[in-house]
A = this chain, B = another copy of it.
Amino acid sequence: MIHRFEPTIYHPTLGSHDPALRIVDGDTVITTTVDAGGRDRFGNQVTQGGNAQTGPFYVEGAEPGDTVAVYFDRLWPNRTTGYTGTLVAPNVLHPYYVRATARALSEPPGLAEWQLDLDNGTATLVKPETKLGRFVLPLAPMLGCFGVAPPGGQAISTATSSTHGGNMDYKGFVTGTTVYFPVFVPGALLHVGDGHAVQGDGEIVGTGIETSFDVQFTVRLLKGKKSGWPRGENDRYIFTVGNARPLDEALQHATTEMVGWLQDDYGLDPVGAQILLGQCVEYEVGNVFDPAYTMVCKVAKKLLRSIA
Protein backbone atom coordinates (compact mmCIF):
# COMPACT_ATOMS: atom_id res chain seq x y z
CA MET A 1 0.00 0.00 0.00
CA ILE A 2 1.15 3.50 -0.78
CA HIS A 3 0.50 6.21 1.80
CA ARG A 4 0.67 9.87 0.99
CA PHE A 5 1.41 11.63 4.23
CA GLU A 6 1.47 15.40 4.64
CA PRO A 7 3.11 16.28 7.97
CA THR A 8 1.69 18.96 10.22
CA ILE A 9 3.70 18.22 13.34
CA TYR A 10 7.48 17.94 13.45
CA HIS A 11 9.72 16.67 16.22
CA PRO A 12 13.01 18.04 17.53
CA THR A 13 13.90 14.61 18.91
CA LEU A 14 13.73 10.99 17.86
CA GLY A 15 11.57 9.50 20.55
CA SER A 16 8.45 7.64 21.48
CA HIS A 17 6.12 10.30 20.14
CA ASP A 18 2.54 9.61 19.15
CA PRO A 19 2.53 7.83 15.79
CA ALA A 20 1.79 10.08 12.83
CA LEU A 21 0.80 7.12 10.65
CA ARG A 22 0.55 3.38 11.08
CA ILE A 23 1.98 1.23 8.30
CA VAL A 24 2.67 -2.42 7.68
CA ASP A 25 5.48 -4.49 6.21
CA GLY A 26 5.78 -3.70 2.52
CA ASP A 27 4.06 -0.33 2.69
CA THR A 28 5.39 2.70 0.90
CA VAL A 29 5.17 6.24 2.28
CA ILE A 30 5.34 9.37 0.18
CA THR A 31 5.92 12.39 2.34
CA THR A 32 7.98 15.56 2.75
CA THR A 33 10.57 16.93 5.10
CA VAL A 34 11.41 20.48 6.07
CA ASP A 35 14.91 21.85 5.75
CA ALA A 36 17.27 21.92 8.74
CA GLY A 37 15.98 25.35 9.62
CA GLY A 38 12.31 24.29 9.74
CA ARG A 39 11.20 25.70 6.36
CA ASP A 40 9.06 23.80 3.91
CA ARG A 41 8.91 23.67 0.12
CA PHE A 42 7.40 27.13 -0.03
CA GLY A 43 10.09 28.56 2.20
CA ASN A 44 7.61 28.94 5.03
CA GLN A 45 8.80 28.50 8.58
CA VAL A 46 6.48 25.71 9.71
CA THR A 47 8.47 24.43 12.67
CA GLN A 48 11.57 25.22 14.65
CA GLY A 49 15.05 24.71 13.25
CA GLY A 50 17.36 21.83 14.05
CA ASN A 51 16.50 18.97 11.70
CA ALA A 52 12.84 18.70 12.75
CA GLN A 53 11.54 15.23 11.88
CA THR A 54 8.54 14.04 9.93
CA GLY A 55 6.74 11.12 11.58
CA PRO A 56 7.03 8.93 13.47
CA PHE A 57 5.70 6.06 11.42
CA TYR A 58 4.52 3.08 13.42
CA VAL A 59 5.37 -0.23 11.78
CA GLU A 60 2.73 -2.73 12.85
CA GLY A 61 4.18 -5.75 14.56
CA ALA A 62 7.66 -4.36 15.05
CA GLU A 63 9.01 -5.19 18.48
CA PRO A 64 12.32 -4.84 20.30
CA GLY A 65 14.71 -7.42 18.93
CA ASP A 66 13.48 -7.07 15.36
CA THR A 67 15.07 -5.08 12.57
CA VAL A 68 13.23 -2.68 10.31
CA ALA A 69 14.41 -2.04 6.74
CA VAL A 70 13.82 1.28 5.02
CA TYR A 71 14.33 1.42 1.27
CA PHE A 72 14.66 4.92 -0.15
CA ASP A 73 12.61 4.89 -3.34
CA ARG A 74 13.15 8.58 -3.94
CA LEU A 75 14.91 11.40 -2.14
CA TRP A 76 14.81 14.69 -3.99
CA PRO A 77 14.67 18.39 -3.10
CA ASN A 78 11.26 19.95 -3.52
CA ARG A 79 12.31 23.57 -3.85
CA THR A 80 14.98 25.49 -5.72
CA THR A 81 16.91 27.10 -2.90
CA GLY A 82 19.33 25.75 -0.35
CA TYR A 83 21.97 27.07 2.00
CA THR A 84 25.25 25.98 3.52
CA GLY A 85 27.70 27.08 6.15
CA THR A 86 30.71 29.03 4.97
CA LEU A 87 33.39 28.17 7.50
CA VAL A 88 34.83 24.81 8.38
CA ALA A 89 33.70 24.00 11.93
CA PRO A 90 36.41 24.78 14.48
CA ASN A 91 36.43 21.21 15.77
CA VAL A 92 37.51 20.05 12.31
CA LEU A 93 40.57 22.31 12.08
CA HIS A 94 43.70 22.32 14.15
CA PRO A 95 43.13 24.38 17.31
CA TYR A 96 46.11 26.68 16.73
CA TYR A 97 44.93 27.38 13.20
CA VAL A 98 41.49 28.24 14.52
CA ARG A 99 42.94 30.71 16.99
CA ALA A 100 45.26 32.24 14.40
CA THR A 101 42.75 32.59 11.59
CA ALA A 102 39.85 33.70 13.74
CA ARG A 103 41.79 36.88 14.41
CA ALA A 104 42.12 37.46 10.67
CA LEU A 105 38.41 37.02 9.82
CA SER A 106 37.13 40.19 11.37
CA GLU A 107 33.64 39.69 10.00
CA PRO A 108 32.45 36.09 10.32
CA PRO A 109 30.54 35.22 7.17
CA GLY A 110 26.93 34.13 7.31
CA LEU A 111 25.30 31.40 5.28
CA ALA A 112 25.90 30.73 1.60
CA GLU A 113 22.97 30.46 -0.77
CA TRP A 114 22.62 27.93 -3.56
CA GLN A 115 20.21 27.71 -6.47
CA LEU A 116 18.93 24.21 -7.16
CA ASP A 117 18.04 23.17 -10.72
CA LEU A 118 15.85 20.17 -10.04
CA ASP A 119 15.43 19.23 -13.68
CA ASN A 120 19.05 19.28 -14.67
CA GLY A 121 20.23 18.15 -11.28
CA THR A 122 22.63 20.90 -10.32
CA ALA A 123 23.30 23.24 -7.42
CA THR A 124 24.83 26.65 -8.13
CA LEU A 125 26.48 28.88 -5.54
CA VAL A 126 24.73 32.25 -5.58
CA LYS A 127 26.35 34.07 -2.71
CA PRO A 128 28.64 35.11 -1.06
CA GLU A 129 31.08 36.41 -3.61
CA THR A 130 34.20 34.29 -3.52
CA LYS A 131 36.81 33.08 -5.93
CA LEU A 132 34.55 30.09 -6.52
CA GLY A 133 32.27 32.33 -8.56
CA ARG A 134 29.02 30.66 -9.57
CA PHE A 135 30.29 27.26 -8.59
CA VAL A 136 28.19 24.36 -9.90
CA LEU A 137 27.86 20.91 -8.36
CA PRO A 138 25.75 17.93 -9.41
CA LEU A 139 22.88 17.19 -7.03
CA ALA A 140 23.41 14.12 -4.85
CA PRO A 141 20.32 14.23 -2.60
CA MET A 142 20.51 12.40 0.73
CA LEU A 143 18.91 12.40 4.16
CA GLY A 144 21.08 13.65 7.02
CA CYS A 145 18.93 12.79 10.03
CA PHE A 146 16.52 9.88 10.33
CA GLY A 147 16.06 6.74 12.36
CA VAL A 148 13.89 5.00 14.92
CA ALA A 149 12.90 5.74 18.50
CA PRO A 150 15.77 5.00 20.91
CA PRO A 151 15.46 2.56 23.83
CA GLY A 152 14.71 3.18 27.48
CA GLY A 153 12.23 6.00 27.15
CA GLN A 154 14.79 8.32 25.66
CA ALA A 155 14.06 11.21 23.31
CA ILE A 156 17.33 12.08 21.61
CA SER A 157 17.98 15.41 19.94
CA THR A 158 18.08 15.54 16.15
CA ALA A 159 21.47 17.19 16.59
CA THR A 160 23.11 13.88 17.42
CA SER A 161 23.05 10.15 16.70
CA SER A 162 23.49 6.73 18.27
CA THR A 163 22.34 3.13 17.78
CA HIS A 164 18.91 4.37 16.71
CA GLY A 165 20.30 6.42 13.83
CA GLY A 166 19.65 10.14 14.06
CA ASN A 167 21.87 12.87 12.71
CA MET A 168 24.42 10.72 10.91
CA ASP A 169 24.94 13.02 7.93
CA TYR A 170 26.35 10.31 5.71
CA LYS A 171 26.26 11.17 2.04
CA GLY A 172 25.59 7.54 1.13
CA PHE A 173 21.98 7.73 2.33
CA VAL A 174 20.62 8.31 -1.17
CA THR A 175 17.84 7.00 -3.40
CA GLY A 176 18.27 3.27 -3.92
CA THR A 177 19.80 2.58 -0.54
CA THR A 178 18.29 0.30 2.09
CA VAL A 179 18.91 1.18 5.72
CA TYR A 180 18.35 -1.30 8.56
CA PHE A 181 17.63 -0.19 12.11
CA PRO A 182 17.39 -2.20 15.31
CA VAL A 183 13.86 -1.92 16.74
CA PHE A 184 13.90 -0.61 20.32
CA VAL A 185 10.23 0.16 20.92
CA PRO A 186 6.95 -1.32 19.68
CA GLY A 187 6.26 -0.04 16.17
CA ALA A 188 9.90 1.01 15.68
CA LEU A 189 8.68 4.62 15.21
CA LEU A 190 10.51 5.72 12.10
CA HIS A 191 11.42 9.41 11.73
CA VAL A 192 12.77 11.16 8.61
CA GLY A 193 14.20 14.63 8.01
CA ASP A 194 17.17 16.87 7.18
CA GLY A 195 17.54 16.55 3.42
CA HIS A 196 20.80 17.65 1.79
CA ALA A 197 20.90 18.37 -1.93
CA VAL A 198 24.70 17.87 -1.80
CA GLN A 199 27.09 17.14 1.04
CA GLY A 200 30.80 16.59 1.38
CA ASP A 201 32.24 13.92 3.63
CA GLY A 202 32.14 14.92 7.27
CA GLU A 203 29.60 17.72 6.85
CA ILE A 204 32.52 19.88 7.90
CA VAL A 205 30.88 23.27 7.48
CA GLY A 206 28.06 22.01 9.66
CA THR A 207 25.63 21.68 6.78
CA GLY A 208 25.07 20.04 3.46
CA ILE A 209 23.08 22.11 0.98
CA GLU A 210 20.08 22.28 3.29
CA THR A 211 16.67 22.22 1.70
CA SER A 212 13.21 20.68 1.96
CA PHE A 213 12.67 17.26 0.40
CA ASP A 214 10.22 14.88 -1.13
CA VAL A 215 10.78 11.53 0.48
CA GLN A 216 9.44 8.18 -0.65
CA PHE A 217 10.38 5.05 1.22
CA THR A 218 9.25 1.46 1.57
CA VAL A 219 9.44 -0.44 4.82
CA ARG A 220 10.06 -4.07 5.51
CA LEU A 221 9.93 -5.71 8.92
CA LEU A 222 12.51 -8.39 9.64
CA LYS A 223 10.97 -10.27 12.54
CA GLY A 224 13.45 -11.77 14.95
CA LYS A 225 16.41 -10.31 13.07
CA LYS A 226 18.78 -8.77 15.60
CA SER A 227 21.12 -5.88 14.91
CA GLY A 228 23.03 -3.49 17.12
CA TRP A 229 23.72 -0.43 14.95
CA PRO A 230 22.31 0.96 11.72
CA ARG A 231 23.23 -1.10 8.68
CA GLY A 232 22.67 -0.52 5.02
CA GLU A 233 23.20 -1.74 1.53
CA ASN A 234 23.19 -0.51 -2.04
CA ASP A 235 23.98 -2.15 -5.36
CA ARG A 236 27.66 -2.45 -4.61
CA TYR A 237 28.12 -2.55 -0.87
CA ILE A 238 26.83 -3.67 2.47
CA PHE A 239 27.74 -1.23 5.22
CA THR A 240 27.44 -0.57 8.94
CA VAL A 241 27.27 2.75 10.73
CA GLY A 242 28.87 3.69 14.06
CA ASN A 243 27.99 6.94 15.83
CA ALA A 244 30.15 8.23 18.69
CA ARG A 245 33.05 10.47 19.63
CA PRO A 246 35.88 10.35 19.01
CA LEU A 247 35.84 9.15 15.41
CA ASP A 248 37.91 6.17 16.56
CA GLU A 249 35.02 4.95 18.63
CA ALA A 250 32.52 5.43 15.79
CA LEU A 251 34.86 3.30 13.70
CA GLN A 252 35.00 0.67 16.46
CA HIS A 253 31.22 0.40 16.58
CA ALA A 254 30.88 0.15 12.80
CA THR A 255 33.66 -2.41 12.47
CA THR A 256 32.39 -4.54 15.34
CA GLU A 257 28.90 -4.56 13.83
CA MET A 258 30.35 -5.64 10.48
CA VAL A 259 32.40 -8.46 12.00
CA GLY A 260 29.19 -9.81 13.47
CA TRP A 261 27.12 -9.33 10.33
CA LEU A 262 29.61 -11.17 8.13
CA GLN A 263 29.35 -14.15 10.44
CA ASP A 264 25.60 -14.03 10.93
CA ASP A 265 24.45 -13.56 7.36
CA TYR A 266 27.35 -14.20 5.01
CA GLY A 267 28.57 -17.57 6.16
CA LEU A 268 31.95 -16.49 7.47
CA ASP A 269 33.79 -17.83 10.49
CA PRO A 270 35.40 -15.33 12.92
CA VAL A 271 38.88 -15.58 11.45
CA GLY A 272 37.65 -15.57 7.85
CA ALA A 273 35.59 -12.47 8.48
CA GLN A 274 38.56 -10.68 9.99
CA ILE A 275 41.03 -11.68 7.26
CA LEU A 276 38.52 -10.40 4.71
CA LEU A 277 38.05 -7.10 6.49
CA GLY A 278 41.78 -6.67 6.97
CA GLN A 279 42.48 -6.52 3.24
CA CYS A 280 39.12 -5.34 1.86
CA VAL A 281 37.31 -3.05 4.28
CA GLU A 282 36.50 0.47 3.14
CA TYR A 283 35.57 3.33 5.44
CA GLU A 284 33.64 6.49 4.76
CA VAL A 285 33.31 9.42 7.09
CA GLY A 286 29.70 10.40 7.82
CA ASN A 287 29.87 13.56 9.89
CA VAL A 288 32.61 15.00 12.08
CA PHE A 289 30.50 17.97 13.09
CA ASP A 290 27.67 16.71 15.29
CA PRO A 291 27.95 15.75 18.98
CA ALA A 292 28.40 12.15 17.83
CA TYR A 293 30.60 11.55 14.80
CA THR A 294 29.71 8.93 12.20
CA MET A 295 31.91 6.33 10.53
CA VAL A 296 30.70 3.91 7.87
CA CYS A 297 32.30 0.49 7.40
CA LYS A 298 31.79 -1.01 3.93
CA VAL A 299 32.33 -4.37 2.26
CA ALA A 300 31.88 -4.80 -1.49
CA LYS A 301 29.14 -7.27 -2.37
CA LYS A 302 31.22 -8.86 -5.12
CA LEU A 303 33.65 -10.07 -2.46
CA LEU A 304 30.83 -11.74 -0.59
CA ARG A 305 29.39 -13.41 -3.64
CA SER A 306 32.63 -15.32 -4.11
CA ILE A 307 32.15 -16.86 -0.67
CA ALA A 308 28.53 -17.86 -0.38
Contacts and interface: CB of A to CB of B under 8 A. Distances in A.
Contacts of A234: none
A61 interface: no
A305 interface: no
How many copies of the chain does the oligomer comprise?
4
A283 B202 contact: yes
Interface string A171-198: 0000000000000000000000000001
Interface in A1-22: 11-13, 15
Contact of A256 (B93, B136, B282): B93
A245 B252 CA distance: 14
Contact of A281 (B105, B123, B202, B249): B202
A102 B207 CA distance: 23
A209 interface: yes
B270 A101 contact: yes
B109 A271 contact: yes
A115 to B, nearest CB: 14
A296 B163 CA distance: 27
Contacts of A204: 255, 277-278, 281
A246 B152 CA distance: 24
A125 interface: yes
Given A95-B89, A198-B279, A272-B130, A249 B256 contact: no
A276 B137 CA distance: 10
Interface residues of A, number: 93
A303 to B, nearest CB: 8
Given A88-B259, A90-B96, A94-B253, A152 B50 contact: yes
A83 B269 CA distance: 19
Given A86-B275, A157-B154, A277-B88, A269 B131 contact: yes
Interface of A: 11-13, 15, 50, 84-106, 108-109, 112, 123, 125, 128, 130-133, 135-137, 152-157, 159, 198-205, 207-209, 244-249, 251-253, 255-256, 259, 267-272, 274-285, 288, 293, 306-307
Given A131-B272, A132-B307, 19 more contacts: A87-B274, A91-B95, A95-B98, A103-B108, A104-B270, A135-B275, A137-B279, A137-B280, A155-B155, A200-B278, A204-B281, A205-B275, A244-B245, A245-B248, A246-B247, A246-B248, A247-B247, A251-B288, A283-B285
